[in-house]
Structure 1
Amino acid sequence: MATLFFHSNIRFLRERRKFSQEEISEKLDLSRNKLQALESGKTKNPSAADLVKFSEYFKISMDSLFKVDLTKLSELKIRELEAGNDVYMTGTKIRVLAITVNNDNKENVEYVPVKAKAGYRSGYSDPDFLAMLPKFSMPNLPAGTHRMFPITGDSMLPVPDGSDVIACYVDDWKQLKPGTPCIVILKGEQDFVFKLVTVSDNQLFLKSLNSVYEPFTVPVTEVLEIWQFHCYQTKEFPEPLPDLKVLAKAVRDLQEEFRDMKGKG
């Protein structure tokens, strides 16, 4: 069984900042008895809410809080972890994914409507918030946790504006192949974005299919979640493709005109 360092790490991080248990309890809205139990290792299974509090307050990923003995690291390395340069991260700073299930104990596909976008950024790990979202089941989905997100704009044409993208949760961002289409959930007031994602050097390179839009980068510290594209649905009826025979004839006509021009030249 792997050694876990959560209890010793949160005690170390508190003492590193020279805070008493009373001060940290107040800052994290925990009782002192609860904090003592967590730091001593008496609480074997901390709640998800408590894990989020410690991870966000100390700016250390949950992977590192549990798996890495922070007392063995240099001050420089700890500062790198706090800055988001977490060599132990598999993607995001918080590895908690709340889900809902149906009566058969199978995961639902939650739909995040436009009006819920702002709330999703603060409630994405809150089961009560997810319980309020519309949800459905969909056959033939691959293994994993899926959600549906609406997209706006034409930056990813030919996927049309107003489409709903069904995507699979990515728990290890570093495993994404360069140029993978994904929904990226950003922090703060930033919107969800649907882009081709390339992960490198603690940042994401985001590119549109529509060349009118310039690519840009965001640091991983500004990213909450990444969901890999699976499929999309739209109310728009597709434009008919040109008849292949007509297209072939047009190509032949152009070739003949080109030959005639060369002959006259």
Structure 2
Amino acid sequence: MSILSENIRYLRNQLGYSQQKVADDLIITRGRYAKYEDDATEPPIEILLKISRYYHVSIDLLVSVDLRKIPLKEILELPDNRILLPIKVDNRGENKIEIIPHKASMGYLNGYADPEYIESLQTISLPFLKGGKYRAFPADGASMPPHKDNAYIIGKYIENLADMRTGKTYVFLTRSEGITYKRLLKVNKETLEVSADNVFYKSYEIHLSDILEIWQYASSLATQEFSKDDFQFDNIAIIRMLQELKNEIRELKGNSPTTDNI
């Protein structure tokens, strides 16, 4: 079998996906995809490009390196494993920033690797954003204050995990969640620990194998006016903080020596 057929079979099994699921996601028949894994036929370049973006592994690695010998985390960190996005410019030479609409945000999960879908998106240009590829994503104001619903986060495309920094915020495109905007807390061996800035949401881990794209916060666009309340603690959040403080005091009292023990 060819390296390509072995690699795509290996990657699919690592994700625990069936051939039918992968074929459906690639919008081809299961029989056609099975022939690629069985090395009965080679995919044309447009399908190979879709497979590359689907598994988040560059075409060069897919066809030339036995991925079974390299841990998945190391594959994602390899300098050559880059799925480059074309940087489009307007007639003034400024970057075109594609806008993912709020109502169609879930459609991005299926269309992020489709040139026709990306070409259909509306664009804006911001002269102060240069030196990279940028895209605008809808924000969930409930989890990441002070960003409001209907706001947009403009992210800069991250090609390598080594370029990420803890404490910074990122837009993640994952197979399980779609678009999510979170703060990076920790980089683990096989996962990223992230959290919302809203204290009501607990931190959680995103598996590296689940990540399709990463975009670092570069700017934001608000579509609603801010009020004073947007920059004040919610009463419920204050109550929660007081409750946590009471619990900590109770624990300290429980651990402190009594007069009987002196």
SS at match of 1:115: coil
109-118 or 151-160, which deviates more: 151-160
Give, in angstroms, the shift of residue 199 of structure 1: 2.7
Q: Measure, in 1, the Cα distance between the counterparts of 2:60 and 2:200.
A: 40
Correspondence for 1:9: 3
Structure 1 residues 98-147: Cα deviation after superposition (integer angstroms, max 9, x where no partner): 55443456541000011221221111121100111111111111310011
Pairing partner for 2:58 from 44, 59, 62: 62
> Would the alpha carbon gap of residues 9 and 233 (structure 1) be closer, same or farther in structure 2, given more than 3 Å must change?
same
Correspondence for 1:51: 49
8 Å contact 1:165–1:229 — kept in the other structure?
Answer: yes
Q: What are the within-5 Å matches in structure 2 for residues 107-146 of structure 1?
A: 107-146=95-134
> Would the alpha carbon gap of residues 167 and 15 (structure 1) be closer, same or farther in structure 2, given more than 3 Å must change?
closer
Q: Measure, in 2, the Cα distance between the counterparts of 1:237 and 1:124.
A: 31
Percent of aligned positions with the same letter in both sequences?
22
In the alignment, is residue 78 of structure 1 matched against residue 68 of structure 2? Answer: yes
Give, in angstroms, the shift of residue 148 of structure 1: 0.7
> Would the alpha carbon gap of residues 11 and 156 (structure 1) be closer, same or farther in structure 2, given more than 3 Å must change?
closer
8 Å contact 1:98–1:125 — kept in the other structure?
Answer: no
8 Å contact 2:95–2:130 — kept in the other structure?
Answer: no
SS at match of 1:226: strand
Q: Measure, in 1, the Cα distance between the counterparts of 2:182 and 2:153.
A: 12
In the alignment, is residue 236 of structure 1 matched against residue 230 of structure 2? Answer: no
Q: Measure, in 2, the Cα distance between the counterparts of 1:15 and 1:126.
A: 22
Paired residues in the alignment total 208
Q: Measure, in 2, the Cα distance between the counterparts of 1:225 and 1:54.
A: 13
SS at match of 2:228: coil
Correspondence for 1:207: 195
TM-score by length of 2: 0.64
Structure 1 residues 174-218: Cα deviation after superposition (integer angstroms, max 9, x where no partner): 321112101111114x24111102432121111111212111111
8 Å contact 2:173–2:214 — kept in the other structure?
Answer: yes
SS at match of 2:74: coil
Pairing partner for 2:179 from 185, 192, 206: 192
8 Å contact 2:56–2:212 — kept in the other structure?
Answer: no
Higher gyration radius (CA): 1
Q: State the Cα RMSD in Å.
A: 4.0
Give, in angstroms, the shift of residue 60 of structure 1: 7.8
8 Å contact 2:94–2:127 — kept in the other structure?
Answer: no
SS at match of 1:232: strand
Structure 1 residues 206-245: Cα deviation after superposition (integer angstroms, max 9, x where no partner): 1111212111111011111111001112122342989xxx
Q: Measure, in 1, the Cα distance between the counterparts of 2:9 and 2:107.
A: 34
Q: Measure, in 1, the Cα distance between the counterparts of 2:56 and 2:126.
A: 36
8 Å contact 1:169–1:227 — kept in the other structure?
Answer: yes
Q: Measure, in 1, the Cα distance between the counterparts of 2:174 and 2:31.
A: 29
8 Å contact 2:73–2:208 — kept in the other structure?
Answer: no
> Would the alpha carbon gap of residues 170 and 66 (structure 1) be closer, same or farther in structure 2, given more than 3 Å must change?
same
In the alignment, is residue 87 of structure 1 matched against residue 74 of structure 2? Answer: yes
178-187 or 104-113, which deviates more: 104-113
> Would the alpha carbon gap of residues 207 and 25 (structure 1) be closer, same or farther in structure 2, given more than 3 Å must change?
same
> Would the alpha carbon gap of residues 35 and 55 (structure 1) be closer, same or farther in structure 2, given more than 3 Å must change?
farther
Structure 2 portions without partners, runs of 5+: 11-29, 233-262
